[in-house]
Every structure is written in C-alpha cells, then in structure tokens.
Amino acid sequence: MSTWITLVAASIVTVALSAGPSLIGTRSELPAILRHANRFAAPALMGALAGRSLANQASTTALVPVLASVAAAVPVALRTRSLSLPVVAGAAVFVVAAAIG
C-alpha cells in the first residue's frame, strides 16, 4: 500500500513540476539559483544512483567485470551521447570479462 502511495505522490510531484509554471502564470520567472542548480540535478542524482547500484552489483557478482563494463561504457557514452550504445558496450564487456575471470 505504501508503495502505491509513494508512486502516486511522486507522480503528482512530477506533473506539478512540468505543469506548475503554466498553471501559476505566464509572467513570473523561476528563481536564478533554481535555474542554475537544475543543470546539476540530473548528473548528480543519476550519478549517485549509478555509483550505488554499480557498487551493489560489484558486491553481489564480481568487481572486475563490473569495472570493465563501466570502463567500456563511459567513453562510448561521452563520445556518442547515446543511451543504448554504452549499455550494449558495457554489457558485452561484462560478459567477456565474466567469462575470462
């Protein structure tokens, strides 16, 4: 039950963020600090989640394949800006490294 409640609450909060500015009015500007901090929300929060979940993954499987997959995915992500290619590269290297190790 509490899972459903957090889902509904998180969904309402998300719609409030995207629809809120147009519901409030068309003249007021967002505070500068909020606009500026917004640039860093995605890399910081997603980076934190990625770090934690990769560390958890390394502790449940093996460290080397996880590190190898990250080492493969990062340059591909930075070079291509794609969402899928880094995952494909990282997964392929993970399979190879796990097989070798």
Partner 1 sequence: MQTDTDPATTAIESAESRRDAALAGTRAIAPLATGLIPLALTVGATAARAGLPPLVGWASSATLYGASGQLTWIQMTHSGAPAALVVGATLLVNMQMLLYGAAMRRYWASTSRRWRVAAGFLLVSPVFAVATERFRTEHDPVRRRWFYLAAGLTLWTTWLAVTGIGYAFGGLPSLPVLATLSPLVILSLALRAVRDTATLAAMVVASTLAIVGRCTPYDIGTVAAGITGIATGLVVSRVAHTEAPPSGNAEP
Interaction site with partner 1 (CB under 8 A):
2-11, 13-15, 17-23, 26, 29-30, 34-57, 60-61, 65-66, 69-70, 73-74, 77-78, 81-84, 86-88, 90-91, 94-95, 98
DSSP state, 15? H
CB of 70 to partner 1, least distance (A): 7
Question: How far apart (Å, rounded) are the C-alpha atoms in residues 72 and 85?
Answer: 10
Please, what is the Cα angle at 33 between 53 and 41, to 5 degrees? 15
CB of 100 to partner 1, least distance (A): 14
CB of 64 to partner 1, least distance (A): 12
DSSP state, 61? S
User: Do residues 58 and 66 touch, judged by C-beta distance below 8 A?
Assistant: yes
Q: Which is nearer to partner 1, 42 or 100 (CB)?
A: 42
